[in-house]
Structure 1
Amino acid sequence: MAPSPPVKYEAAPKSLHYEFGGPLGALGVVISVPFFSYWLPFAAAGNFQLSKFAEFHAAGWRAMHDPQWWESLWSWEVFAVYLAWYFWCVLCAIALPGKEIEGVELRNGKRLTYTMNAFATMVVSLAMIGAWTFKFGPGALLYIPHHWPQLVSAAAVWSTFLATFVFFQSYIGEQMLALGGNTSNAFYNWFIGRGLNPRLGDFDIKTFNEMRPGLILWVIFDLAFVAWQHERIGRVTDSMILTVAFHTWYVLDAEYNEPAILTTMDITTDGFGWMLSAGDLLWVPFTYSYTAYFLALHPTDLGVSGCAGVLAVQLIGYYIFRVSNNEKNEFRLGRNPKNLKSFQTERGTRLLTSGWWGLSQHPNYMGDWVMSWAWCLPCGFQSPLPYFYVIYFAILLVHRQTRDDEACAHKYKKDWETYKKLVPWRIIPYVY
């Protein structure tokens, strides 16, 4: 039998379509992500209220005219501590054992291999922090809230450096570029990500940053805020325990189910640029932990009935999120244990039309958004600040859905219109 001819593909096709409003929209994101990363804790410390908007921001502007305020945003010592954490995660990714998993088929017909040891990295890291805290006390954890602005700056600088490094690396040799990251605008390409799968040898930069430094740091930050609340009021509230438990559960679940990331748009479609770099290393750990930060400064007691209600919201959201993701992952990997129905496309692939995926085009997004409410409700209603996450996450998920819809319309053409008639609801059935 003659060998199969090599798959023909373009490694570096020219991108003709902008997302995020093009270069101007990308600039807005580059400005707003660091701004809100700094502003949210500043607002919590100042007990921001909508009714006192003018007073609050007048005080903020006065502070910004003080040179010491600007000096408080940077510390070389804190930057060294942050880098020590980052490269500890690199060491774990290289040294710890893990199952070898193949990703989805790329445009060239090949599949990359990934070592799945993010869960082991998290367990080892938390065990070491726990042992250190047990022996020496929570001083190391309290270092985090006591140096919070400097840590934000360290993550912002490092994520920007990393995005810049990968951007220039994408011009070395013949690499497969992201379909949307090779426009005529260099700034936009740097932002959105030019290289699809940037690697140093077998070390995959994109999946490493998606699953390890920032995601695990989110839980470590939460634990630091537990210690901070105890330092401030001499106890830990039920709302703090519930919030940290939800966050930890979410991250542990993500790390344990690490192979599921290989079928997401972040890995299969998007390049690794500033958007993903800053999202992974700055936005996720520093803003997703914000409710715990807020509770450290503004303790709230829920009581038994309050805890039960919030827990019910969390469990419903988690069930939808995890079961729907498992259905999708199993189906894409060629397994279908539930015998779910699917729609045959002219491309030769199939689209799920039953189970959770028969109710919504993105049931995992729906579960994720329900959980976001459970992460904010423990803060009560004393301030709108903690609910920024629910609003931001709704915008993020609708934007993702829009990107998915555009990509699938291009990919499946008329079959996508047929599919949308079979599954009309985008995220929440009978709502959107």
Structure 2
Amino acid sequence: MTSRVTRSQTGRTPRKPENPGFVSTPVRKRSMSPVKRVQKMYDSDESDEKYGSTPTGHWHHNEAVADIFPPGINDRLTPIPSTPFDMKAAGSVEAVRSHSDDDIDHVDFGGTPGVVAMMIGFPLLMWYMWIGQEYYGGKFPTPEKGQSFADFAVHMFELVKQGAFPSVKAFTIYWVFFIVQTILYVVLPGVYAEGNAVPSLNGQRLTYFCNAYVTFWVSCAAAAGLHYFDIFPLQTIIENIGPITSVSIISGFVVSIVAYFSALARGAQHRMTGAFFYDFFMGAELNPRIGIIDMKMLFEVRLPWYFLFLTTASTAVKQYQVYGYVSPQVWFILLAHYLYANACSKGEECIITTWDMFYEKWGFMLIFWNMAGVPFTYYHCTLWLAKHDPAEYSWSTAYQTTLFVTLICAYYVWDTCNSQKNNFRKQQAGTFVDLKRFPALPWRYIENPKYIKCRNGGTLLTDGWYAWARKIHYTVDIIMALTWGFNTGFTSPFPYFFPVFFVCVNIHRATRDIQRCKAKYGEVLDVRDELVLVNTASLMARLRDQALAVAVGIDAADVSVSPVGGGSGFATTLKVQAGGQRFFVKTGHGPNASVMFQGEHASLNAINTVVPDLCPRAIAHGSLDADSFFLATEFLDLGGRGGGSLASKLGKLHSQSAPSDGRVVSKTSSRRSGSTPQDNTYENTWASFFINRRLLPILRACVESNGPQPELTNHVDRTLPVAQHLLDRLSTQAARPVVVHGDLWSGNQSSGSIPPRVIDPTPVIYDPSSCYAPAEYDHGIMTMFGGFDGDFWKEYEAVVPRGEPVTEYEDRVSLYRLYHTLNHYALFGGGYKNGAMNIMKTLLHKYDKV
């Protein structure tokens, strides 16, 4: 089997509707409780636009994303190759809707009192920590005995005025650096990349110019040149670090004020709450730009991280000037800051899809943090070393070596982990290019990565480092931060500001990311978790159960078992090998697993009977013990291109009439899909079954999952006569029952081989929820998420023409799609309700006389 794992192979699909005799896999429904702000953002994945208009044909054509490059500087452009793609497939955040719908009810940081406290308190904290480093030997400044707090505060102010007064020289250093970075942004070569769809621009994707990698090396070369020719001695930065700190604080406020009132003057504000201080803190404008310069991009990497690195380089130069050598501790922190600055630069185009760029506005929070917060609070590891004689921190060789090794190893994992994640997104989007920027580390991308393809079009990487942990990049990020502090010893608290702060930030990030992922992916998130946590040894012991060995015809003593990605609360997926034979096996617990595996076994074999090379054949299903069950199938090797077409093979499947009366595929009369009951009791007519066994039960499931739904209930009740009318009028030929897949979205079809029975790659389908039903029932889910283009439908309809009356075909497909949309609403909530409402409103408007 290839390394690419889709949800069809994981058993983890957000399960969709069933038909008479449906035998699809039950899936546990996940209740979602992310913060309101995050939930609203991800509800937009299923925007009304997807379902709002009456279809005028198969609406399965993927829209190409136009390559839009800004004018000018094309002579130095190195574009990232682009192909039409859906950013959701690349794992990015989507929220395509008007900014007027954005959530302004939710506030962060405790609202106005919290942000005012931060705007006052953080600059004071910066000065306080600088005073502790400069005048108190790295200790906390505290009042002397008998000194009142007021006198202590005055003393603190005098120390700032004495050692950190914002001099003209400091302003010159800081702002010349700022201006030079801005110029380099414009004049140096770089690449263009598209960001996420921007809500305030009605889903438009902005194009970003990225040249931080070149800028960083040019900045380093320029600093070295200026120092060498004594134009600007590099030690000047650390010698004036107090005044420059004050300049950064003042500049952060000034730029924030200009940015805020400029946005108001131009009418560029978004998501305003009306609370002045809160809006000022969060910002007014989302995407401030001057020509090709995106202000958030300019401030994100260049200002904070380059200045931090140059500050540490300045310390190394100063130490060499004073002591005649650079201590291992300064070399260590210089390496640490170089690695971070360089990594942020070489991956700049990946920043454009982050939360800061996509959602946060350009306000005091981002401006001050990048202009002052990062470079002048993260520098305390450097500042402590600069203010002390190297003899005070001459650690043992073993200790220092351990720190270097830990830093380098953690950096390797961090760099390659983030590279794997970002390159995976590009691979999925069709834009991957190995730029080989220094250091181009081994394992920075994965060929044919394993992943789970989700119902909403997104993908979850389950390969590389992400086969071992969900947030491993945060873990090693924290380890690197801790080494920065450990490098200075344990006599001062200030070098630990960054590590402690960063631990808190990454814990917050991880919590936030989990909430967003749950909102976006739902239960599929657990698939990856189980893949990470799978214990192969214990599974091998279970799979050596005699029942399984006998069922698949292998020697229990010779079996080899390995996970192939995924699983769920009820199923784990495995590759079982013995004696040259390979099998795909799902195992699960409880009665739902038994019913699920029995149904999937029958579904696969029903399809296989009609078109033998269209899907894997089910080998066996049964019990491993009193509460454990399994399903074994032929092993499907996905990948490659071969003969035949999916359209012709599916047409053949849909042309073969069902045996006998076409009651059910399996003998199971009642099943469950997730928490949605699936009643497969036979009905005499297709209309009766669809109404009584699908629409009405799924409406009840929606109410059970989401609470009372008076509007939805009313519309479903009004739609029932329309369904009766449309399906009763379906011609006898079109209504005849055939084997349908039942769950044939684009993620459940591919190309592959089923050795040794099918050697050459051929179009295949998998993960069925089959039943006997009219062929066009499959069209509902097939047109819901795209993936089947016009050529496919043309070839398919040459074999299976649209049913009579043809003029009502699109409306019948909308009716089938309504069921799937309601099922998604029952499972996931959110925007699927709007999609269902729009389908019903369209049908009711057209058939108002029924």
Q: TM-score range by the shorter chain?
A: 0.7 to 0.9
2:179 to 87, 93, 96: 87
> Which string of whole-angstrom CA distances, capped at 9 and with x for unpartnered residues, describes residues 22-52 of structure 1?
22222232223322322222212211447x8
Deviation at 1:183, TM superposition (A): 2.4
Q: Aligned AA for 1:40?
A: M
Give the number of equivalent residue pairs: 418
Distance 1:293 1:368 in 2: 21
2:106 to 4, 17, 29: 17
Q: How does 1:324-403 map to 2 (within 5 A)?
A: 324-335=417-428, 337-403=446-512
The match for 2:216 is 122
Deviation at 1:158, TM superposition (A): 1.7
SS at match of 1:351: strand
Alpha-carbon contact 1:319-1:367 (below 8 Å) kept: no
Deviation at 1:288, TM superposition (A): 1.8
When normalised by structure 2's length, the TM-score is: 0.45
Q: Percent identity?
A: 25
Alpha-carbon contact 1:361-1:424 (below 8 Å) kept: no
Deviation at 1:144, TM superposition (A): 2.0
Alpha-carbon contact 1:101-1:116 (below 8 Å) kept: yes
The match for 2:226 is 132
Distance 2:318 2:146 in 1: 26
Alpha-carbon contact 1:159-1:282 (below 8 Å) kept: yes
Distance 2:240 2:277 in 1: 31
Deviation at 1:251, TM superposition (A): 0.7
The match for 2:744 is none
Larger relative contact order (Cα-Cα within 8 Å, sequence gap ≥ 6) = 2
1:168 to 247, 261, 274: 261
Alpha-carbon contact 2:96-2:197 (below 8 Å) kept: no
Distance 1:305 1:48 in 2: 25
Distance 2:122 2:469 in 1: 30
The match for 1:147 is 240
The match for 2:195 is 103
The match for 1:42 is 131
The match for 2:278 is 188
Deviation at 1:221, TM superposition (A): 0.7
> Which string of whole-angstrom CA distances, capped at 9 and with x for unpartnered residues, describes residues 291-321 of structure 1?
1111111222234322210012112321221
Q: Say which is worse superposed, 395-404 or 53-62, in terms of deviation.
A: 53-62
Distance 1:421 1:244 in 2: 41
Structure 1 residues 248 and 91, CA gap change in structure 2 (3 angstroms): same
Q: Say which is worse superposed, 56-65 or 143-152, in terms of deviation.
A: 56-65
Deviation at 1:175, TM superposition (A): 5.0
Which structure is higher in helix share?
1
The match for 1:69 is 161
> Which string of whole-angstrom CA distances, capped at 9 and with x for unpartnered residues, describes residues 312-345 of structure 1?
2112321221122112212323438443343444
2:525 to 419, 424, 428: 419
Distance 2:96 2:459 in 1: 23
Residues 1:308 and 2:414 aligned together? no
Distance 1:218 1:402 in 2: 28
Deviation at 1:372, TM superposition (A): 0.6
The match for 1:429 is none
Distance 1:169 1:27 in 2: 21
Structure 1 residues 301 and 160, CA gap change in structure 2 (3 angstroms): same
Structure 1 residues 11 and 217, CA gap change in structure 2 (3 angstroms): same
Distance 2:396 2:510 in 1: 37
SS at match of 1:9: coil
Q: Aligned AA for 1:313?
A: T
> Which string of whole-angstrom CA distances, capped at 9 and with x for unpartnered residues, describes residues 106-151 of structure 1?
33332222222112222222212212222228x6323223322221
Structure 1 residues 317 and 60, CA gap change in structure 2 (3 angstroms): farther
The match for 2:327 is 237
> Which string of whole-angstrom CA distances, capped at 9 and with x for unpartnered residues, describes residues 408-432 of structure 1?
44x42xx435515743899xxxxxx
Q: Aligned AA for 2:278?
A: Y
The match for 1:430 is none
Distance 1:169 1:384 in 2: 40
SS at match of 1:112: strand
Gaps of 5+ in 2: 1-55, 66-94, 429-444, 533-850
Q: How does 1:193-204 map to 2 (within 5 A)?
A: 193-204=283-294
Gaps of 5+ in 1: 427-432
Q: How does 1:173-322 map to 2 (within 5 A)?
A: 175=268, 177=270, 181-298=271-388, 299=390, 300-322=393-415
Structure 1 residues 329 and 150, CA gap change in structure 2 (3 angstroms): same
Q: Aligned AA for 1:76?
A: V
Distance 2:204 2:399 in 1: 51
Distance 1:290 1:68 in 2: 17
Q: Aligned AA for 2:257?
A: T
Distance 1:14 1:127 in 2: 46
Alpha-carbon contact 2:245-2:372 (below 8 Å) kept: yes
Distance 2:245 2:160 in 1: 17
Structure 1 residues 176 and 26, CA gap change in structure 2 (3 angstroms): closer
Structure 1 residues 301 and 89, CA gap change in structure 2 (3 angstroms): same
Distance 2:229 2:146 in 1: 43
Alpha-carbon contact 2:174-2:248 (below 8 Å) kept: yes
Distance 1:292 1:133 in 2: 20
Distance 1:339 1:310 in 2: 35
Deviation at 1:358, TM superposition (A): 4.2
Structure 1 residues 68 and 373, CA gap change in structure 2 (3 angstroms): closer
Distance 1:57 1:116 in 2: 57
Structure 1 residues 44 and 64, CA gap change in structure 2 (3 angstroms): closer
Residues 1:29 and 2:123 aligned together? no
Distance 1:385 1:38 in 2: 12
Distance 1:56 1:152 in 2: 29
When normalised by structure 1's length, the TM-score is: 0.86
Distance 2:123 2:422 in 1: 33
Alpha-carbon contact 1:316-1:370 (below 8 Å) kept: no
2:206 to 86, 103, 112: 112
